[in-house]
Structure 1
Amino acid sequence: MDTRLLLVSHASTAAQRAGRFPADDPLDARGRAETEAAAARLRGALPGDASAFVSPAVCARETAFVLGLDATPDDALADMNYGNWQGRRLADLAIDAPQELAAWTHDPDAAPPGGESFSQLVRRMGQWLDALGTTSGASRRAHGVIAVTHAPLLRAAIVHATGASPTVFPRIEIAPLSVVELRCSQRVWTWWPGAL
């Protein structure tokens, strides 16, 4: 039987709206309200008997909680490592480190100082997906999997599933509370856009 995976990007945070790299920020009132407003739509798309996983980040765990998911934290679903840029505003980096920021936004192999490149993130997410796709156990495979994580990981999952070059990452937009559906059959992942 195929593995059906629904990846959900966490709700918006004040850091996102301020143009800051995340620093394990919680949901604010607006993010919580957005999740509550989207909960009925998302619950209808998320099978109730699916295995649920979540990034260890506070915003992802709070999103999963508001969605009513009893999700297991998984370090592989942690946000991209932004290294020394964690908590910093993009506008400030554009002044303080314009060349490094430009490289990071265009080159999938460029990483923030002390951080992770998008190519590394694609490999990390690909390893998680491939392990999930080969996991034995009829229960999980029959009922599907839900994972609440971060937009960069949804991008990485799409890149991995489609076999695209990581250079396409700046062309993939993932909004808060987006859902990406992937399916694995015979150890091959496919992206199902518009399936929900």
Structure 2
Amino acid sequence: MTSRLLLISPAIGPALREARFYDGASSIDEAPAATGALPEAAHVVLSPGARCRDTAEALWLRGVTAAELAPLDAGQWRGRTLAEVAATDGEALTRWLADPDCPAPGGESVRQVCARVGHWLASLPEGRTIAVTEPEVIRASVIHALNLPAKTFWRLDAPPLTATELSGRSGRWNLRLGRPLGGD
């Protein structure tokens, strides 16, 4: 059984532009042009955040929301900028960024989001799935697929409106990452 997964990162919005911990409500600044270059998919799934739903709509994708694709839960830091958190809770922020087992206050750790996304990947159906999801979910997917250590999480980048592709079967994944939408 071969599964093919096309992970699409959302268009840029105020939260990303301001280096703000995402609160799920912020949307995108400008809708991407629907390219028509996306492959046909048997399944389309979306992160529950507004920016992913709006990006999918602009790309003419209709799908179901998957709670497993929610962004990393920043807990008490949700909605605050990185600079604000660093100024008021710098020691906790430093620990959270350095230790994949350290959760954000009232939130989750990098290892927890990697496990959540890994569980979702293990349940992927056969055929092609398109997922419009948060950059941190794309990072967690790559970590799971390549069996990378969780500490590499912050060293991976999923720029806005790029596609990361995974294909595999029986727990063995191949990776193609970071191509612009509409490219080959």
TM-score, length of structure 2 as denominator length: 0.91
1:50 Cα deviation (Å)? 3.1
Cα distance, 1:162 vs. partner?
Answer: 0.4
- Provide the C-alpha distance between the structure 2 equivalents of 1:184 and 1:171, rounded to a whole number of angstroms: 23
Q: 1:1-196 maps to which residues of 2 (within 5 A)?
A: 1-28=1-28, 30-32=29-31, 35-36=32-33, 39-40=34-35, 43-44=36-37, 46-132=38-124, 135=125, 141-142=126-127, 144-193=128-177, 196=184
Distance in 1 (alpha carbons) for counterparts of 2:10 and 2:135: 8
After TM superposition, where is structure 1 displaced by more than 6 Å over at least 4 residues in a row?
Answer: none
Deviation at 1:98, TM superposition (A): 0.8
Aligned-partner residue type, residue 22 of structure 2: P
Residue 15 of structure 2 aligns to a residue whose secondary structure is helix
Q: Displacement of 1:161 after TM fit?
A: 0.4
Post-superposition shift, 1:177?
1.2
Counting helix residues as a fraction of each chain, which structure ranks higher?
Answer: 1
Q: Secondary structure at the match of 1:5?
A: strand
Q: What secondary structure sits across from 2:101 in the alignment? A: coil
- Two-structure CA RMSD over aligned residues (Å): 1.6
Stretches of structure 1 lacking an aligned partner (at least 5 in a row): 136-140
SS at match of 2:123: helix
Distance 1:171 1:194, change over 3 A: closer
CA distance in 2, matches of 1:96, 1:26: 23
Q: What is the SS of the residue equivalent to 1:31?
A: coil
> What letter corresponds to residue 62 of structure 2 in structure 1?
D
Q: How far did 1:80 drift? A: 1.0
- In the alignment, residue 176 of structure 1 is paired with which amino acid? P
CA distance in 1, matches of 2:178, 2:78: 33
Distance in 1 of aligned mates of 2:112 and 2:78: 17
TM norm structure 1: 0.86
Larger fraction in strand: 2
Contact 1:4 1:182 in 2 (8 A): yes
Shift of 1:3: 1.0
What 5-or-longer segments of structure 2 have no aligned partner? none
CA contact (8 A) 2:163 2:178 kept: no
Distance 2:69 2:60 in 1: 19
Report how far residue 49 of structure 1 moved. Answer: 3.7
Instruction: Describe the superposition over 1:47-81 as per-residue Cα deviations: whole angstroms up to 9, x where unpaired.
Output: 22431000111111111110000111111111111
Counterparts of 1:94 and 1:188, CA distance in 2? 39
Identity %: 35
Q: Distance in 1 between matches of 2:46 and 2:152?
A: 25
